[in-house]
Copies of this chain bind each other. A is one copy, B any other.
Amino acid sequence: MKRRLSDIGEFNLIESIAKTVKTGPSVIRGIGDDCAVLGYKKNKYLLFTTDMIIEGVHFDRKKASPLSIGHKALAVNISDIAACGGTPKWAVVSAGIPKYIDNSYANDIYKGINNLAQKFGIDLVGGDTNRSEKLVLSIALLGEVLKDELVLRQGAQQGDSLVLTGPLREKPDHLRFMPKIKESRFIAKKLMPTAMIDISDGLLSDLEHILKKSQKGAFLYESLIPIGGKKAPVKKVINIGEQFELLFTIPKSMLKFIPKGFYVIGEISGSRPFITFVGCSGERKKINPRGYTHF
């Protein structure tokens, strides 16, 4: 469940709902995290998330193949389950299909969904197909998480290390990325994570989500931020969304267990949600939590 300010501007339907909604005792965590967390079994919670992708907003039908559109529609949801330390289980697919889409194109969309579903052991259990002017896919995904493996945006502690599951890119493959379920399972089982999120808005914005929910600050080190693919300035890449790496915090004592390919990029500081960006030559810059175009 994403909240891209760039998409929606000044208001947000879901945030508006959150302000007035009171939830019952079965809701462990409602609006405001990557997934909702619901009462379920003795040792498990149910995770519930939804994401919608729309032609012209999240993909360009001229550049994206139908297979990759289906892939993306499910992948963004799986990434939400990964961000909470869970395992994806069951999905329903709502589709708005324009007249110009033929049978073979539609079949390829569902093949893209289905291939990814099979890879992650997800059962497609229902859905709804409608006519629409633009292609719209909205998937809702359920997952499970062991109670003691649940990770939320809140919970980061002063002194925790800030870790990324992989390098950021100037041009991430937002269509064919592979959600980090394997990495998430490892983190949840072995690293005692205190907070986690997937990088959908951009490293800075998503770090800010963790800091606000955790009521902490952070030091972020320019020299430690890994850039993959084509060389690009760190200050640019940290504002680029749809990376879908996981960003998480762990106690320093767990650092010795992080595997190759994970990157420590900073540290959680005191109790205010500011990011202190430490440049390569040691200069410091405070970033306030509303900063979307910072540099």
Please report A residues at the B interface, Cβ cutoff 8 Å.
1-4, 7-17, 20-21, 23-24, 26-27, 30-31, 33, 35-36, 38, 40-41, 46, 48-54, 56-58, 89-90, 92-97, 103, 106-107, 109-110, 113-114, 121, 123-134, 136, 138, 140, 142
Measured CA separation A123–B33 after assembly (Å) = 15
Query: Assuming A54-B96, A96-B54, A136-B136, is B106 touching A16 (CB within 8 A)?
Result: yes
A196 to chain B, nearest CB (A): 17
The answer to whether A54 touches B11, judged by C-beta atoms less than 8 angstroms apart, is no
The 8 Å CB contact of A49, one of B106, B107, B126, is B126
Query: Assuming A41-B41, A130-B58, is B36 touching A136 (CB within 8 A)?
Result: no
Query: Can you name 7 extra interface pairs (CB under 8 A) apart from A3-B128, A36-B125, A49-B92?
Result: A1-B92, A8-B129, A8-B131, A16-B107, A26-B123, A30-B126, A36-B90
Offer 11 A-B interface pairs, CB within 8 angstroms, sorted by A: A14-B127, A15-B129, A17-B114, A17-B127, A23-B123, A24-B121, A50-B140, A52-B128, A52-B138, A56-B133, A58-B130
Please indicate the chain B residues that have their CB under 8 angstroms from the CB of A8 in the complex: 97, 129-131
Measured CA separation A194–B91 after assembly (Å) = 27
Please indicate the chain B residues that have their CB under 8 angstroms from the CB of A127 in the complex: 1, 13-14, 17, 31, 50
The answer to whether A90 touches B48, judged by C-beta atoms less than 8 angstroms apart, is yes
The answer to whether A132 touches B126, judged by C-beta atoms less than 8 angstroms apart, is no
The 8 Å CB contact of A106, one of B13, B56, B106, B123, is B13
The answer to whether B124 touches A30, judged by C-beta atoms less than 8 angstroms apart, is yes
Please indicate the chain B residues that have their CB under 8 angstroms from the CB of A134 in the complex: 132-134
Measured CA separation A127–B35 after assembly (Å) = 9
The 8 Å CB contact of A92, one of B9, B40, B96, B140, is B140
The answer to whether A1 touches B96, judged by C-beta atoms less than 8 angstroms apart, is no
The answer to whether B103 touches A52, judged by C-beta atoms less than 8 angstroms apart, is no
A121 to chain B, nearest CB (A): 7
Query: Assuming A52-B138, A140-B92, is B126 touching A14 (CB within 8 A)?
Result: yes
The 8 Å CB contact of A52, one of B57, B90, B95, is B95
Please indicate the chain B residues that have their CB under 8 angstroms from the CB of A52 in the complex: 94-96, 128, 130, 136, 138
Among residues of B, the one whose C-beta sits closest to the C-beta of A76 is B128
The answer to whether A110 touches B23, judged by C-beta atoms less than 8 angstroms apart, is no
